[in-house]
Structure 1
Amino acid sequence: MTQNLVRVVDVYPYRLMADGYRFLLLRRAVGTLYAGQWRMVGGKIQQDETAWQAALRELIEETGYPPQTFWALPSVNTFYNWKLDAVLLTPAFAAELERDPTLNHEHDRFGWFSTEEALRLLVWEEQKRLLSLTNRYLQTGTILPDWIIPHM
C-alpha cells in the first residue's frame, strides 16, 4: 500500500537587490546526487529533528551562515517515488540572506537569479511552483506573521 513520507526539506533563499528580489541557486558538484543541476537548498531530516530545524541546519550547512528572516511556505513539494511506492511530502521554507554563500563540498557554483532565470534553471516542476509562490508572497508583502520562524 502506498504511504506518505516526510523525509526531506526544501529552502528557497532570496535577497533583495537593486533590481528586485533574487533567488540563490546552487549547482550540485560532480559526484553528488543531482550532479550538474541548479537547485535550491535542501536535505534530509535527521532523527529527532523537526522539518524546520532540518531546513535551518541545511541552509547554514550549504550557505555558511544563518538567515536574516526564515519562514515556512504554506505549501509542500509533493512527488511519487516508485522505488519506495510512496508519496513524498517535502515541507518548503524561504530564507532571506544578506550575502553570498560559502560553498561546501556539495556544490561547485552559485548564482543569484531573477525569478524568470531561476525558473529556467530548475528542473522539477514542484520546485518551480514553490519558487514562484515565494516570489508572489515577497512581491505582494503577504507573508503572514504566523509563518515566520524565530531562529536566533
Structure 2
Amino acid sequence: MSADAIDVVAAIIVREGRFLAARRSASMTEPGFWEFPGGKVEAEETLGQALVRELEEELSIAIDAFSLWKVKEKKVKAGAIRLFFHLVTEFSGAPTPREGQELAWITCEEARGYSFLPADEEILSELSACLQTL
C-alpha cells in the first residue's frame, strides 16, 4: 500500500438485512453517487475515533458495535485513498442526513440499481455474502 494514501473510513451500517446508503449532495465532489457514510481520518485520530466522529457529524448517530471488515486502496485523481470499511451492527439514534445527502436502507440486490462510487461498488458482491452471516 502507498504510504502517502489518504486514509478514509466507511461505515456499512446494517439493520435487518439491509444497509444504509447515502447519496452525495450537489455540493459534494462526485454529486449524485451513492456511498457508504464516512470520511477522512484526521491527524492523530484512530480509525475507530474517525468512524465515531464521522457518523455523528454526518448522521447524528452514536455507534455501539463495529468491526473492521475490509481494507481497499484505490487510485484517484488526487493520488490514492485507503478505504477502511467497517461493519456497524449496533447504533443509537435515528440516521438523519446532516449534509444534504439522501439516505436509503437497501439490500445488496437492490444496490445493483444504484450508482455507487467505484470503490464502494467493487465491494458490493462481497458484502452480500458477508451480510448473510450476520
The secondary structure found in structure 1 opposite 2:18 is: strand
Number of the residue aligned with 1:80: 75
Alignment check: 8 A CA contact 2:10 2:85 kept? yes
Aligned-residue offset at 1:135: 3.5
The secondary structure found in structure 2 opposite 1:138 is: helix
Alignment check: 8 A CA contact 1:32 1:106 kept? no
Number of the residue aligned with 1:137: 130
Number of the residue aligned with 2:95: 101
Pick the aligned partner of 1:118 from 111, 114, 127. Answer: 111
**Structure 2 regions of 5+ residues with no counterpart?**
none
The two structures have a TM-score, normalised by structure 1, of: 0.73
Aligned-residue offset at 1:3: 4.9
**Structure 1 regions of 5+ residues with no counterpart?**
142-152
Whole-angstrom distance in 1 between the partners of 2:132 and 2:63: 19
Alignment check: 8 A CA contact 2:22 2:35 kept? yes
Number of the residue aligned with 1:45: 41
Number of the residue aligned with 1:15: 15
Alignment check: 8 A CA contact 2:35 2:117 kept? no
User: Where has structure 1 moved over 6 Å in runs of 4 or more?
Assistant: none
What is the CA RMSD across the aligned residues, in angstroms? 2.3
Alignment check: 8 A CA contact 2:7 2:82 kept? yes
Judging changes above 3 Å, is the alpha-carbon distance between structure 1 residues 44 and 71 closer, same or farther for their aligned structure 2 residues? same
Identity %: 27
Number of the residue aligned with 1:55: 51
1:62-77 superposed matches below 5 A: 62-73=58-69, 75-77=70-72
Give CA deviations for 1:9-36 in whole Å, capped at 9, x if unaligned: 11111111xxxx0111111112122222
The two structures have a TM-score, normalised by structure 2, of: 0.81
Larger Rg: 1
The amino acid across from 1:81 in the alignment is V
Give CA deviations for 1:110-132 in whole Å, capped at 9, x if unaligned: 11111111233143343134344
Judging changes above 3 Å, is the alpha-carbon distance between structure 1 residues 36 and 10 closer, same or farther for their aligned structure 2 residues? same
- Give yes or no for the alignment of 1:34 onto 2:34: no
Equivalent residue pairs, number: 132
Aligned-residue offset at 1:100: 4.1
Aligned-residue offset at 1:52: 2.1
